[in-house]
Amino acid sequence: MSKCTNFTEGEFYQEHFDSRAYVTNFYSCPDGHSDEKNFLTFVLKCFSRVFSSGENKGRMLIDVGSGPTIHSVLSACQHYDEIVLSDFSDNNRKEIEKCLENQEGCLDWKPVLQHVCEMEGQSLSDLKAALKQRVKKVLKCDVRLENPFHPHTLEPADCVVTSLCLEAACKDFHSYCRALDGLSKLLRPGGLLVMVGVLGETFYKVNEQLFSCLRLTKHDIEEAIQGSGLSLHEFNILPAEDREDNSVSDFEAVFHLTARKPSD
């Protein structure tokens, strides 16, 4: 089994992460990568269930660690006035900006956009317009900092979303808990955290480049959520299929959770 000898933190991503290959390999269709069997379909369905009804809505949503992707906010973008996307890597942020501005050569998100539209009964043009209108900023972030957006201070958000970020950015459980505490501080009282992550993963590959991952259990995450002062509302798990045939990662399961910051 492949593994990284040193944990690949943000600086390694800045130098070695191929943003375009990542999206092409893992997000070119709603099924995601063929080795990961329904991973992306599960994630898109979870986001849709949380956001599409409009029950969860507000003024601001912050997506922490977006990577070069936009899928985490597709179901939410019509229900929040302002959306902030973010990532540590300069190239990841550039790819998001190219996509939002529909620049020549931007990555193709149409299959994923169409899938979300079909799930939610909305038009592709309306979803594209909402995304372009509501995403106001694409900022640099570093979840290893107490304030991930230092030196900027963002106003408290109604919702914070994070997908496949903390376990890739945090080299040990202490760092993971500290990062989750930082996300909690971004929320207003009563605000919602929506998280997607992986259980039991130690690595994933973009083409042949290895990236490390903090191996976590469901109990680890529940402990970290409780320690950050959030109240866990739901925790959904999709176990990995055919793990021995997966050449791009070694995750045991993908999870989705929602948690809420107590109201004052």
pLDDT tens digits, one per residue of 189-241 = 999 999 999 999 999 999 989 999 999 999 999 999 999 999 999 999 999 88
| pLDDT for residue 40 is more than 50 | yes
CA distances from 186 to 62, 63, 106, 143, 215 (A): 8, 11, 30, 11, 25
Among candidate residues 243, 253, 169, the one with its CA nearest the CA of residue 1 = 243
Buried b (16+ CB within 10 A) or exposed e, 226-247: eebebeeeeeeebebeeeeebe
Q: CATH code at 109?
A: 3.40.50.150
Note whether residue 2 is domain-resident. Answer: no
Task: Tell me what the mean pLDDT of segment 34-54 comes to.
Answer: 92
pLDDT, tens digit, 9 for 90 and up, residues 69-97: 999 999 999 999 999 999 999 999 999 99
Note whether residue 91 is domain-resident. Answer: yes
* pLDDT over 70 percentage in the chain: 98
| Counted domains in the chain | 1
Note whether residue 4 is domain-resident. Answer: no
pLDDT band at 6 (very low <50, low <70, confident <90, very high): confident
State which H helix or E strand residue 189 sits in. Answer: strand 187-199
Note whether residue 141 is domain-resident. Answer: yes
92 is in an annotated binding site: yes
Note whether residue 5 is domain-resident. Answer: no
Task: Tell me what the mean pLDDT of segment 134-162 comes to.
Answer: 96
22 is in an annotated binding site: yes
Among candidate residues 190, 181, 15, the one with its CA nearest the CA of residue 90 = 15
Note whether residue 60 is domain-resident. Answer: yes
What residue has token string 């107490």? 146
Looking at residue 1, its pLDDT comes to 42
Looking at residue 201, its pLDDT comes to 96
Q: Are 85 and 137 in contact (CB under 8 A)?
A: yes
Round to whole Å and give the CA distance between 9 and 162: 17
Separation of CA 261 from chain center: 19
Looking at residue 3, its pLDDT comes to 57
Note whether residue 249 is domain-resident. Answer: yes
- Residue 211 sits at the vertex; the CA angle it makes with 207 and 212, to the nearest 5 degrees, is 150
Round to whole Å and give the CA distance between 148 and 140: 8
Average pLDDT, the chain: 94
142 is in an annotated binding site: yes
pLDDT, tens digit, 9 for 90 and up, residues 238-256: 998 877 778 899 999 999 9
Note whether residue 227 is domain-resident. Answer: yes
- Structural domain of residue 157, as residue ranges? 10-260
63 is in an annotated binding site: no
Among candidate residues 235, 60, 252, the one with its CA nearest the CA of residue 160 = 60
Round to whole Å and give the CA distance between 7 and 131: 34
| pLDDT for residue 2 is more than 60 | no
87 is in an annotated binding site: yes
Among candidate residues 181, 85, 101, the one with its CA nearest the CA of residue 140 = 85
pLDDT band at 4 (very low <50, low <70, confident <90, very high): low
66 is in an annotated binding site: yes
Nearest 5°: phi and psi at 246? -85, 110
pLDDT band at 35 (very low <50, low <70, confident <90, very high): confident
Ramachandran class of 250: left when φ > 0, alpha when ψ lies in -120 to 50, beta otherwise: alpha
| pLDDT for residue 136 is more than 80 | yes
